Amino acid sequence: MRRFLLSACTAVVLFLPSARAEVKLPTVIGSHMVLQRDKPLPIWGWADAGEEVTVEFAGKKATAKADDDGNWKVTLPAMKADAKGQSLTVTGKNKIELTDILIGEVWIGSDQSNMEWSVNQTRSKDAIESANNDKIRLYHVPKLQLNAPGKDIKAAWKVCSKETVPNFSAVLYHFGQRLQKELDVPIGLINSSWGGSPIEPWTVAGKTSGGMHNGMIAPLQPFAIRGVIWYQGESNVGNGLKYRDKMEALIKGWRQVWGQEMPFYFVQIAPWSGYKPGMLPPLWEGQVAALKIPNTGMAVTTDLVDDIKDIHPRNKLDVGNRLALWALANTYGKKDLVYSGPLFKSMKVEGNKAKIRFAHVGGGLKSRDGKPLTEFEIAGEDGKFVPAEAEIQDETVVVHARDVSNPTQVRFGWRNIANPNLANKEGLPASPFQTKDWQGGTGE
């Protein structure tokens, strides 16, 4: 796995508007955009100092005066979803008219290459021909690091079509496609990702922020959004359980600067043979531990690996759909959905057997390939793990081994190249776990 070189990519420009002779807007506020429904809508930009600027949209009007540095901002009232294109005008010494603006749900997708990978690079190429959907809008943030928070981005909103979707994030597109189908409202998708990037340059903590946050996230603020999906961890795999703290810093920082406790749904990274032995499972535990952070969720991907030597599993359709399940259930209130695979909850020893209980069993547990359960190990008082037999009993899994009479620990899928077959009847796979001092959450 290639190492990401931060210093080599750091820019010093800030993309500040160069001239103030006329009113200007950031590109994230543009024609074809989707505005977030049911939330106050900040609209901002630049003008001459002291210039009065008026914004009109959907029968609403707001006026502000540019400050000494030429910055201005108004906030339009919250509005209901609307799939009919409307115009937004900004008037100062000049007039800007934006067209074809919808009101619906806006989500950001971020971090490294598995989020960045485009529809054209994945097994979902068939989706390209059916991608024409003017209720989905796409905004792709180019790669840029800055040493201070940037003001604007070289990008533009595009209507989703078979011409615009091939080079857009596959995970984010499939996530948004599922939401649009289920919610029947316009969906705005903002892709801001960079292959190979660690979590640190995306993080903002207090007055300190990383270069990628400065260049690729800060210019989006305070654009109203519903939430974030995140696919990262490969470049931080050596952090193990400490990754949980890094996730908390990232999430809290973004929520603070956005001024909202937005949902944050992430992907548990897939098995891969390229890690040093034993490195990946502790990071998995760190990711499950991040579920203890309020308003988060995690999609498991242990079953989506088509080539264990490839760090980029090609199936991004199921990844996007699994993230969408968390959003549909927990953000949009569709509580009848089973939105996660089984997550370890507790272990109880009964004689020479260990009974494992799970959250998110849904309609029950199953072997996804119909074969005996795999990747279970058990240890006795000596702490030495041996392969174990595992059987489903109602909503639990009973684990035992002939040579272990007093079990003390169980682990499941606890290796870099695990391909376990335990799932719930809805087909969502169980996340790897180990039972000794387990730090994971359940997201319930």
Q: What is the pLDDT of residues 304-329, one digit of tens each?
A: 999 999 999 999 999 999 999 999 99
Distance CA 290, CA 411 (A): 19
Kindly report which listed range (9-13, 244-248, 353-357, 398-402) carries the lowest average pLDDT score: 9-13
Query: What is the pLDDT of the chain when averaged over all its residues?
Result: 94
Closest CA relative to residue 378, chosen from 357, 356, 406, 400 = 400
Task: Answer whether 2's CB lies under 8 Å from 9's CB.
Answer: no
Is residue 168 within 8 A of residue 140, CB to CB? The reply is yes
Is the separation of the CB atoms in 41 and 82 below 8 Å? no
H or E, element range at 144: none
Percent of the chain whose pLDDT exceeds 90: 92
Confidence of residue 122 (pLDDT cuts 50, 70, 90): confident
Q: Which domains does the chain have, with CATH numbers?
A: 11-100 (2.60.40), 102-331 (3.40.50.1110), 344-434 (no CATH)
DSSP type of residue 431: P
Taking the whole predicted model, whether its pTM rises above 0.85 is answered as yes
Closest listed residue to residue 271, CA positions, set 170, 377, 419: 419
Within a 10 A sphere around the Cβ of 382, how many other Cβ atoms?
9
Confidence of residue 98 (pLDDT cuts 50, 70, 90): very high
Q: Peptide bond preceding 222: is omega within 30 degrees of 0, i.e. cis?
A: yes
CA 169, distance to chain mean position in Å, is: 12
Please state, in angstroms and as integers, the Cα–Cα distance from residue 194 to each residue in 145, 210, 268, 273, 383, following that order.
10, 13, 18, 22, 41
User: What pLDDT score was predicted for residue 12?
Assistant: 41
In tens, the pLDDT along 11-57 reads 444 444 444 469 999 999 999 999 999 999 999 999 999 999 999 99
Mean pLDDT in residue range 78-83: 98
Reported as a single tens digit per residue, the pLDDT across 135-159 is: 999 999 999 999 999 999 999 999 9
> What is residue 126's predicted lDDT score, i.e. its pLDDT?
78
Cα(53)–Cα(47) distance, integer angstroms: 8
Answer left, alpha or beta for residue 4, where phi above 0 means left and psi between -120 and 50 means alpha.
beta
Instruction: Name 55's bridge partners.
Output: 62, 90
pLDDT over 80 at 125, yes or no? no
Mean pLDDT of 230-239: 96
Q: Is the dihedral of CA 162, 165, 170, 171 positive or negative?
A: negative
Q: Are 354 and 397 in contact (CB under 8 A)?
A: no
pLDDT tens column, 377-416: 999 999 999 999 999 999 999 999 999 999 999 999 999 9
Per-residue pLDDT tens digits for 267-283:
999 999 999 999 999 99
pLDDT of residue 409: 97
Mean pLDDT across 254-267: 96
